[in-house]
Structure 1
């Protein structure tokens, strides 16, 4: 019986190692922005438009009290605002500010810079990799 993982498992393990171990950018994002990665992730989620606090909590997989602490901090920094939700006056909408958009864009630049190993691939290999990954992402998009 083979102890080697099947090709799909092996590929998945390599992708996880590449992104989450060898080139994890969360610490760099936190250092560049001066705040926790989860706060930056909240700003990224808000780039698409305002979200009710409950939906932001669900998107970030945090509980409501911690989301409140994060949004309080984002408001103090001038990166987000809260207002009454016009479709449900019992809830609050969180909206990103222009300054928050700037921080989210800065974080995206840090995260988007390819590792040297990827940048060093040939154009042919990069095209193959990009095409394969795009197909995987498109196949799993909601």
Structure 2
């Protein structure tokens, strides 16, 4: 890894988080590709598992725009992992359901993701693992929960 921190300056949080995110996304993509899904498809399926959510609601939870959400759901439906049904309360909305095959893939994906996470965290001293996860959860649940008003574009978590 290279460092984008100024000489003698403190670590650059943006660079460190970006590097870690990119490396982890690459590992997830490789592991989930063996199951025939992308990380985005995995997150969408995981959100749909809750049941009775519209594709708009799932897209918002994942930080995915409408067009990307439609493409992702088209792929999931073609693979037999999810299906869209009309909402009984809003004829314009579609509810997303996970199929039995989608449930099987989700279960295997959970194992893949857990294995990668365990492997990554194992490189830290044990006392630092929970502290790192707690600190990151605090940041994304608080100060970094939303995109700044002046920032162009939105977040893409999935």
User: Same fold judged by TM-score > 0.5?
Assistant: yes
State the match for 2:10 in structure 1.
Answer: 6
Gapped runs of 5+ residues in structure 2?
1-5, 146-158
Change beyond 3 A, Cα 1:39–1:116: closer
2:65 counterpart (62, 67, 86): 62
1:63-78 → structure 2 map (5 Å cutoff): 63-64=66-67, 66-78=68-80
Which aligned segments of 4 or more residues in structure 1 are displaced greater than 4 angstroms? none
Radius of gyration: which is bigger? 1
**Higher-strand-fraction structure:** 1
Q: Which has the higher helix share?
A: 1
Q: How many residues align?
A: 135
Asked if structure 2 preserves the Cα contact closer than 8 Å seen for 1:79 and 1:97, the reply is yes
Structure 2 counterpart of 1:35: 37
TM-score by length of 1: 0.71
Residues 1-142 of structure 1: matches in 2 within 5 Å?
3-7=7-11, 9-10=12-13, 13-21=15-23, 24-58=26-60, 59-64=62-67, 66-113=68-115, 114=117, 116=119, 118-121=121-124, 125-138=125-138, 140-141=140-141
Is residue 83–residue 96 contact of structure 2 (8 Å, CA) maintained in 1?
Answer: yes
TM-score relative to the length of structure 2: 0.65
Is the 8 Å Cα contact of residues 35 and 109 (structure 2) preserved in structure 1?
yes
Q: Which runs of 5+ in 1 are unaligned?
A: none
